[in-house]
């Protein structure tokens, strides 16, 4: 897979998924505290989102940062637009802006609270991570 | 290896009038948290406020500066 193909894949992922999280590791097994906090905020809002692990190939991060002009991981995109990394997402979660942006109700519990087995009608939210690693081989 | 003081100086020099508080989170010189107050942030989205700070350090963020956690605000308060 060439760098251009990786970039095209990333651009497509951002376009095709209204809530798209690029992270280190996966929502179930985050590989970094910042990625963990960001996916936890989305989990506790009960929104469906796509997640892509950037770790399998260093070029993923390189091309992603070139697209977003944002140097660090995680990066959350909503409707094709960069919302921010862990700091901004956490801050927006706490103020309720993230819930507004995503069109969901702000839950009472903290972002760290587990979704599974928690508040009654909430569904565990994360969808399976996109398998870019398969496409890279 | 950058120090918290060095980051503070560089932010304040790059954004005249800005006041920065920088903390070395681990003592290892690679995980920092910066709180920056500046009038320059007025009217900018959070993304653009943070980009102003990231731009001060360029490729160093993600390199020698492994993590730079940011909180930005204007003198009048958080927009």
The domain that contains A32 carries what CATH number? Answer: 3.40.30.10
A86/B61 Cβ within 8 A: no
Query: What ipTM is given for this predicted complex?
Result: 0.83
* β partners of residue A77: A20, A82
Does domain B18-73 fall under CATH 3.40.630.10? My reply is no
Render pLDDT for A46-100 as a digit per residue (tens, 0 to 9).
999 999 999 999 999 999 999 999 999 999 999 999 999 999 999 999 999 999 9
Q: With respect to residue A87, please indicate whether it lies within any of the assigned structural domains.
A: yes
- Does the distance separating the beta carbons of B68 and A70 come in below 8 Å? no
Over residues A24-50, the pLDDT tens digits come to: 999 999 999 999 999 999 999 999 999
Question: Is B46 within 8 Å of A65 when comparing Cβ atoms?
Answer: no
Chain A / chain B CB contacts < 8 angstroms:
34
Is residue A120, in this structure, part of any structural domain at all?
no
Domain count, chain A: 1
- With CA atoms as reference, report the closest residue to A44 among A119, A130, A129, A127: A119
Helix (H) or strand (E) holding A22: strand A19-23
Contacts of A61 in chain B (CB under 8 A): 62
pLDDT of B33: 96
Q: Where in the sequence is the domain holding A22, given as residue range(s)?
A: 3-103
Which chain B residue has the Cα nearest residue A33? Answer: B67
Judge: A87–B70 Cβ closer than 8 Å, yes or no. Answer: yes
CA A114/CA A119 separation, integer angstroms: 9
């Amino acid at each position: 897979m060439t760098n251009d193909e990786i970039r095209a894949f990333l651009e497509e992922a951002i376009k095709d998924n209204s809530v798209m999280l690029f992270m280190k590791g996966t929502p179930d097994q985050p590989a970094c505290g910042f990625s963990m906090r960001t996916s936890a905020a989305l989990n506790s809002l009960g929104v469906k989102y796509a997640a892509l692990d950037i770790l399998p190939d260093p070029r993923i991060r390189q091309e992603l940062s070139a697209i977003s002009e944002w140097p660090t991981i995680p990066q959350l995109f909503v409707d094709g637009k960069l919302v921010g990394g862990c700091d901004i997402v956490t801050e927006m979660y706490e103020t309720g802006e993230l819930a507004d942006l995503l069109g969901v109700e702000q839950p009472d519990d903290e972002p760290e609270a587990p979704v599974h087995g928690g508040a009654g009608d909430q569904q565990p939210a994360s969808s399976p991570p996109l398998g870019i690693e398969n496409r890279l081989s | 290896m950058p120090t918290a003081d060095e980051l503070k100086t560089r932010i304040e020099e790059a954004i005249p009038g800005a006041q920065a508080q920088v903390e070395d989170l681990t003592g290892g010189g690679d995980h920092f948290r910066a709180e920056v107050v500046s009038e320059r942030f007025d009217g900018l989205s959070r993304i653009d406020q943070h980009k102003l700070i990231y731009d001060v350090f360029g490729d160093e963020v993600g390199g020698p500066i492994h993590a730079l956690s940011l909180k930005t605000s204007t003198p009048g308060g958080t927009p």
